[in-house]
């Protein structure tokens, strides 16, 4: 494996990270690169739904990379969200739709960053640019990633490019986007067998604003109150995480994918940020944020500029 270029998304991988890694592998192999998609964490239930639908295996999980290992990053660029050893790896390419945060390499590379709702939308355009045929497997993978990241095109991160890509990919994949998409999203909301610690780590990212460390985690559900039945357990685990990592703030967003709202739990010594960021007072460490569904577009920018 060490002779191949390794492709991976961020830690706590979501559907876009896994699907885009697999699609990027196809693109690189078509271009003559020996590439292999891998992952940096467990597969979530939403992503497993996609893999089961296609009848394919999840990429191999890795814990670290050796010095000089050639890698391609998809769906992230920040080293703290990447694999152990990334600072000594040789980054050949990045394909991402997030902000560029303190990114630095020792060699030139291919870097594609666009403010789209999903990394797979960028990859869809890359297929077009290269004149490569999109086969059904890749179409399902890219469509699934777009559905996931844009919450069936309901998220404020959604662009016209995501909509256009999803429409064309659905035709290639012969998918009913509403039926397939809702089934896929609902598969990811089955949280019954998660421990509180697992639940807050399903989709969590750590950030650092001038030495102030904070973390934003998100879980999708069709019933916010069902998740809040475990509120005290969740708070205990969050407080432990704050102490363990030296965080100033931890925000857990419990997002209703059907009604496009979130209820957040906020703990730490900088919970004052919630009031200035969203105009909401915390009540028993919680606040209901109407119309808020996106960490990247709504939660992070408001918290980041007020912390």
Domain with residue 271: its CATH number is 3.10.310.20
User: CB neighbours (10 Å) of residue 114?
Assistant: 15
- d(CA 191, CA 202) in angstroms, rounded, equals 10
Pair (107, 225) in one structural domain: no
Residue 215: per-residue pLDDT: 96
Residue 120: per-residue pLDDT: 98
- Expressed as residue numbers, the domain containing 275 is 196-304
Pair (178, 227) in one structural domain: no
What are the pLDDT digits (tens) for 75-130? 999 998 999 999 999 999 999 999 998 788 889 999 999 999 999 999 999 999 99
Residue-averaged pLDDT of the chain = 95
Is residue 203 situated within a structural domain? yes
Domain end point (choices 133, 161, 186): 186
137: domain CATH number? Answer: 3.90.1640.10
H helix runs in 31-174, sequence order: 45-54, 119-130, 136-150, 160-173
Average pLDDT on 270-279 reads 96
Pair (26, 100) in one structural domain: yes
Going by pLDDT thresholds of 50, 70 and 90, the confidence category of residue 28 is very high
Domain end point (choices 157, 186, 215): 186
Pair (164, 81) in one structural domain: yes
Q: Are 76 and 119 in contact (CB under 8 A)?
A: no
Going by pLDDT thresholds of 50, 70 and 90, the confidence category of residue 2 is low
CA 292 from centroid of its chain's CA atoms: 16
Is residue 284 situated within a structural domain? yes
With pLDDT > 90 as the criterion, what percentage of the chain qualifies? 88
Residue 101: per-residue pLDDT: 85
Domain count, the chain: 2
Is residue 93 situated within a structural domain? yes
User: CB neighbours (10 Å) of residue 228?
Assistant: 15
Is residue 127 situated within a structural domain? yes
Q: Are 122 and 114 in contact (CB under 8 A)?
A: yes
- Residue 122, CA distances (Å) to 55, 67, 97, 160, 303 in order: 25, 29, 8, 12, 27
Residue 189 or residue 74, greater confidence: 74
Torsions phi, psi of 248, nearest 5?
-90, -20
Is residue 51 situated within a structural domain? yes
Domain end point (choices 186, 208, 241): 186
Is residue 96 situated within a structural domain? yes
Going by pLDDT thresholds of 50, 70 and 90, the confidence category of residue 33 is confident
Pair (176, 230) in one structural domain: no
Pair (130, 211) in one structural domain: no
Pair (126, 148) in one structural domain: yes
In 3D space, the residue among 186, 184, 154 whose CA is nearest the CA of residue 292 turns out to be 154
Residue 172 scores a pLDDT above 60: yes
Residue 217: per-residue pLDDT: 96
DSSP 129-170: HHT----HHHHHHHHHHHHHHHTTTTSTT--HHHHHHHHHHH
In 3D space, the residue among 290, 302, 240, 242 whose CA is nearest the CA of residue 264 turns out to be 290
Residue 246 scores a pLDDT above 90: yes
Most confident of the following: 139-143, 292-296, 303-307: 139-143
Pair (205, 165) in one structural domain: no
Pair (148, 274) in one structural domain: no
- d(CA 78, CA 99) in angstroms, rounded, equals 9
Residue 102: per-residue pLDDT: 78
Pair (156, 243) in one structural domain: no
Q: Are 70 and 6 in contact (CB under 8 A)?
A: yes
Rounded to 10 degrees, the C-alpha dihedral 102/94/63/81 comes to 40
Let me know the angle formed at the C-alpha of 306 by 212 and 251, rounded to the nearest 5 degrees. Answer: 65
Residue 106: per-residue pLDDT: 86
What are the pLDDT digits (tens) for 186-226? 998 988 889 999 999 988 999 998 889 999 999 999 899 99
Is residue 9 situated within a structural domain? yes
Pair (248, 154) in one structural domain: no
Torsions phi, psi of 29, nearest 5?
-65, -35
- d(CA 292, CA 43) in angstroms, rounded, equals 25
Is residue 191 situated within a structural domain? no
Pair (207, 107) in one structural domain: no
- d(CA 261, CA 250) in angstroms, rounded, equals 19
């Amino acid at each position: 494996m060490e002779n191949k270029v390794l492709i991976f998304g961020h830690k706590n991988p979501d559907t876009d990270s896994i699907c885009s890694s697999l699609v990027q592998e196809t693109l690189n192999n078509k271009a003559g690169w020996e590439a292999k998609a891998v992952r940096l964490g467990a597969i979530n239930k939403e992503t497993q739904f996609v893999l089961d639908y296609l009848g394919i295996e999840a990429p191999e999980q890795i814990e670290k990379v050796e010095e000089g290992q050639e890698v391609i990053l998809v769906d992230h660029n920040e080293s703290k969200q990447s694999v152990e050893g990334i600072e000594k790896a040789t980054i050949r390419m990045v394909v991402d739709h997030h902000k560029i945060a303190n990114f630095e390499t020792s060699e030139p590379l291919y870097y594609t960053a666009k403010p789209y709702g999903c990394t797979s939308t960028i990859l869809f355009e890359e297929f077009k640019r290269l004149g490569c045929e999109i086969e059904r497997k890749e179409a399902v993978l890219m469509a699934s990633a777009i559905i996931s990241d844009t919450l069936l095109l309901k998220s404020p991160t959604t662009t016209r490019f995501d909509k256009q890509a999803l429409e064309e990919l659905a035709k290639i994949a012969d998918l009913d986007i509403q039926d397939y998409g809702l089934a896929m999203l609902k598969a990811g909301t089955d949280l019954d067998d998660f421990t509180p610690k697992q639940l807050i780590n399903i989709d969590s990212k750590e950030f650092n604003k001038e030495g102030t460390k904070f973390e934003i985690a998100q879980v999708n559900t069709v019933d916010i109150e069902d998740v809040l039945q475990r509120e005290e357990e969740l708070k205990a685990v969050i407080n432990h995480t704050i102490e363990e990592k030296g965080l100033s703030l931890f925000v857990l967003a419990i997002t209703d994918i059907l009604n496009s709202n979130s209820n957040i739990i906020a703990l730490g010594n900088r919970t004052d940020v919630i009031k200035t960021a969203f105009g909401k007072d915390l009540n028993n460490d919680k606040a209901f944020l109407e119309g808020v569904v996106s960490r990247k577009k709504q939660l992070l920018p408001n918290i980041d500029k007020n912390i």
